[in-house]
């Protein structure tokens, strides 16, 4: 029970007890007591009207019973007069004498009220003391301590990331058996920084350290150091490290360290004094004049570019461990961990699910398994089947299905042509990702979706792949232009993404002959800890060249999309008719329609699609079949670009 609730319960019990002492005796007293004068009592006694009389020798109060059965009370002299006592006795009145003036009976009423007041003042004093302690403890650390008897997560619960777990386990092993490392002169890193995209399991790895370490483990978030009072953050840092130092060897985990570790003097207004004081104190505690021994700091962030350089230098965070998105070999064990204990159908292949979910983080995979279970419940199934995983993947990657949204017939037809343009180019072009599914049912914020999936994890992209991606995104706009002769607002997102990609090709990746091998970063770095007014590091003339090159790339890909869609106009119309009839078609069906409308297969090596999780890729055939395949009509190649790779000088 919470202390506040316990105090409230005790107060209510005391009040109820006192009220009971005062009220309950009167409730059980069912006899009527008549108050009479002393002279009337003497008169009734002389005329045989009194049966008994109890005389209080200290107060003179006389109580008893009259002959008619009524109880009475009368105030007499104290001490009682001898003649009047004789009168009672001579008239057959039973006379008794009482002296109830004991200590308890005399002081009990006063004692009760004294206890009430004392209890009230004690309660008020504790309340004031608690508030004072709260004010005085504002500078204490809010870190949660986990001891070795509270393991919750271990490395066995973290699937994949074998290299990451190995590096972290070295720290845990050093804290358990430091003698092995000291014999050879090895020093444990003072700080380990976990860097990676959101959802990759950085916090879970830290929880696994808490379960494996066997030493005191302190967990705190970076935002817990910040308060409205100046100096509180630095005080909490001091308190945290002082507590950890007393229990060393120990591990301190700081989640989202970028909230206090931003570059000093950066951001709007030049910086934040309270945050910078907190950072300075942390720098001093980690590797200052009085270095901390036996305390290892583990921090996690998904924004390492905003951290202060002094925080990242050796001696503070000696080791930076990248926690990337899981690859195929890591997605499978992650799915197995999250699917543990769930009733899977015999047809479910988690390997197929792993192959069909490239680019998903550990959190995305956990959500995928949960969404598949929810879908199985909605269709009243007791097991989770492959169709549930398929639906869950579409839900995660394409958005929530909005099948209740009603579109007008002309809007529906335009959307069908738009998505068919995307799908046809995704299938025909060589370097685009394989086609997975097309739908004109609104999902998420989109009125229609064309979904492609990579065949395997991709870490770098070639210029041809980027150009094919630009051309594919132009497909919706170009299809509307070819069919209707005008444009709509449906291509707004496509144009924005294409412009951003083309600008990065020119400005950051050196894919322009006019610009050459030069690169400039993005200007939008206010929220990355840089200054508000970012100075552009190229001239106006270079800016104009960049704009011209971006325009050239986009116009070339638009012209290329027009040529390909013109060549495959019958396939475009066939896809549109199928979409208007079925609303959703998979990649294999779309490929069959395009090939049939074209008169022969577009690709000599099969259909470049990713249809369902049960048949991931349909683009690979045996080399003998590929060699024996008839020559097929190839898609219109891209126009010869103005850019050519530079000629290397002879050695």
H-helix or E-strand spanning residue 546: helix 540-567
**Is 30 domain-assigned?**
no
How is residue 340 written in tokens? 């543990």
Residues 464 and 519 in one domain: yes
Q: What is the CATH number of the domain that holds 596?
A: 1.20.58.760
Q: Which of 495, 479, 500, 497 is nearest to 423 (CA)?
A: 479
Residues 543 and 477 in one domain: yes
Residues 479 and 550 in one domain: yes
**261: exposed, middle or buried (C-beta count within 10 Å: 0-12, 13-18, 19+)?**
buried
Identify the residue whose tokens are 């279970």.
373
**Is 333 domain-assigned?**
yes
**Cis peptide, bond prior to residue 639, ω within 30 of zero:** no
Q: What is the CATH number of the domain that holds 343?
A: 1.10.8.60
**Is 425 domain-assigned?**
yes
Tell which of 373, 398, 423 closes a domain. Answer: 398
Q: What's the pLDDT at 418?
A: 93
Tell which of 274, 301, 322 closes a domain. Answer: 322
Query: Contact 220/251 with Cβ under 8 angstroms?
Result: no
Residues 470 and 586 in one domain: yes
Tell which of 398, 430, 452 closes a domain. Answer: 398
How is residue 493 written in tokens? 């997102």
Residues 288 and 389 in one domain: no
Domain that holds residue 500: 409-628
**Is 212 domain-assigned?**
yes
- What is the strand order of the sheet 191-195 is part of? 144-146, 217-221, 250-255, 295-301, 191-195, 319-322
Q: What's the pLDDT at 408?
A: 84
> Please, what are the averages of pLDDT over each run of 10 residues along the chain (651 residues)?
64 71 56 77 80 77 81 79 76 74 58 72 65 48 52 70 78 77 78 85 79 78 67 77 80 84 64 72 72 76 84 83 84 86 87 82 88 90 88 80 78 92 92 87 84 78 92 93 89 92 92 87 48 62 91 93 92 92 88 88 69 45 36 42 42 35
**Is 37 domain-assigned?**
no
Residues 444 and 510 in one domain: yes
Q: What's the maximum distance between 2 C-alpha atoms anywhere in the chain?
A: 150
Residues 537 and 465 in one domain: yes
Query: Contact 611/588 with Cβ under 8 angstroms?
Result: yes
**How many structural domains is the chain composed of?**
3
As annotated, the active-site residues are 419
How is residue 225 written in tokens? 């150091």
**Can you tell me whether residue 612 is helix, strand or coil?**
strand
Q: What's the pLDDT at 24?
A: 59
Residues 342 and 483 in one domain: no
Q: Cα–Cα distance between 609 and 607 in angstroms, integer?
A: 6
381 to each of 337, 342, 365, how far by Cα in Å? 22, 13, 21
Q: What's the pLDDT at 192?
A: 85
Q: What's the pLDDT at 395?
A: 82
How is residue 487 written in tokens? 């444009």
Residues 175 and 258 in one domain: yes
Q: What's the pLDDT at 127?
A: 62
Helices in 91-220 by DSSP H: which ranges?
103-136, 162-176, 178-183, 202-213
Q: What's the pLDDT at 496?
A: 93
Residues 350 and 414 in one domain: no
CB atoms inside a 10 Å sphere around CB 499 = 15
* CB hemisphere CA count around 368 (13 angstroms): 33
Q: Cα–Cα distance between 399 and 566 in angstroms, integer?
A: 31
How is residue 269 written in tokens? 């207004």
H-helix or E-strand spanning residue 562: helix 540-567
Residues 308 and 429 in one domain: no
**Is 389 domain-assigned?**
yes
Residues 315 and 354 in one domain: no
Q: What's the pLDDT at 23?
A: 64
């Amino acid at each position: 029970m919470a202390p506040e609730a316990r105090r409230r319960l005790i107060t209510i019990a005391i009040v109820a007890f006192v009220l009971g002492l005062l009220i309950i005796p009167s409730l059980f007293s069912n006899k009527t007591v008549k108050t009479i004068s002393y002279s009337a009592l003497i008169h009734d006694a002389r005329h045989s009207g009194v049966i008994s009389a109890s005389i209080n020798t200290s107060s003179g109060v006389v109580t008893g019973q009259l002959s008619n059965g009524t109880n009475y009370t009368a105030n007499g002299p104290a001490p009682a007069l001898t003649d009047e006592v004789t009168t009672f006795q001579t008239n057959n009145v039973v006379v008794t004498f009482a002296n109830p003036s004991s200590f308890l009976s005399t002081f009990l009423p006063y004692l009760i009220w004294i206890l009430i007041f004392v209890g009230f003042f004690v309660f008020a004093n504790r309340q004031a003391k608690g508030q004072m302690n709260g004010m005085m403890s504002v500078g204490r650390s809010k870190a949660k301590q986990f001891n070795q008897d509270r393991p919750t997560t271990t490395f066995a619960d973290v699937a994949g990331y074998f290299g990451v777990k190995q590096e972290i386990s070295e720290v845990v092993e050093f804290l358990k058996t430091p003698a092995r490392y000291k014999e050879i002169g090895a020093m444990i890193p003072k700080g380990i920084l976990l860097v990676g995209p959101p959802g990759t399991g950085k916090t879970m790895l830290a929880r696994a350290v808490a379960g494996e370490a066997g030493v005191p483990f302190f967990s705190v978030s970076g935002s817990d150091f910040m308060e409205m009072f100046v100096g509180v953050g630095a005080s909490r840092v001091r308190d945290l490290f002082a507590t950890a130092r007393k229990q060393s060897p120990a591990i301190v985990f700081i989640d989202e360290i970028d909230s206090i570790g931003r570059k000093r003097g950066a951001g709007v207004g030049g910086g934040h004094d309270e945050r910078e004081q907190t950072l300075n104190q942390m720098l001093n505690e980690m590797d200052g004049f009085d270095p901390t021994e036996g305390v290892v700091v583990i921090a996690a962030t998904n924004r390492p570019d905003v951290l202060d350089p002094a925080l990242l230098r050796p001696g503070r965070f000696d080791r930076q461990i990248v926690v990337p998105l899981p690859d195929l070999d890591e997605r499978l064990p992650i799915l197995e961990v999250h699917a543990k204990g769930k009733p899977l159908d015999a047809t479910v292949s988690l390997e197929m699910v792993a192959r069909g979910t490239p680019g998903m983080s550990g959190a995305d995979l956990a959500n995928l398994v949960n969404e598949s279970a929810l879908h199985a419940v909605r269709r009243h199934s007791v097991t989770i089947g492959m169709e549930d995983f398929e639906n869950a993947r579409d839900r995660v990657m394409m958005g929530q299905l909005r099948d209740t949204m009603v579109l007008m017939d002309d809007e529906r037809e335009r959307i069908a042509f738009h998505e068919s343009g995307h799908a046809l180019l995704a299938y025909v072009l060589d370097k685009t990702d394989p086609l997975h599914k097309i739908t004109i049912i609104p999902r998420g914020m989109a009125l229609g979706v064309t979904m492609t999936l990579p065949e395997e994890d991709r870490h770098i992209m070639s210029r041809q792949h980027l150009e094919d991606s630009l051309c594919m995104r132009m497909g919706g706009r170009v299809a509307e232009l070819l069919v209707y002769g005008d444009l709509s607002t449906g291509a707004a997102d496509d144009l924005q993404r294409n412009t951003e990609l083309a600008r990065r090709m020119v400005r950051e990746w050196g894919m322009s002959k006019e610009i050459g091998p030069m690169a400039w970063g993005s200007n939008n770095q206010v929220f990355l800890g840089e200054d508000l007014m970012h100075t552009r590091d190229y001239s106006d003339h270079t800016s104009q060249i960049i704009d011209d090159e971006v325009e050239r790339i986009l116009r070339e890909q638009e012209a290329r999309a027009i040529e390909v869609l013109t060549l495959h106009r019958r396939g475009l119309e066939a896809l549109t008719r199928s979409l208007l009839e079925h609303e959703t078609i998979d990649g294999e069906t779309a490929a069959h329609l395009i090939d049939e409308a074209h008169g022969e297969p577009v690709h000599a090596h099969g259909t470049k699609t990713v249809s369902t999780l049960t048949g991931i890729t349909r683009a690979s055939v045996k080399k003998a079949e590929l060699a024996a395949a008839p020559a097929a009509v190839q898609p219109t190649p891209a126009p010869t670009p103005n850019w050519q790779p530079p000629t290397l000088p002879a050695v």
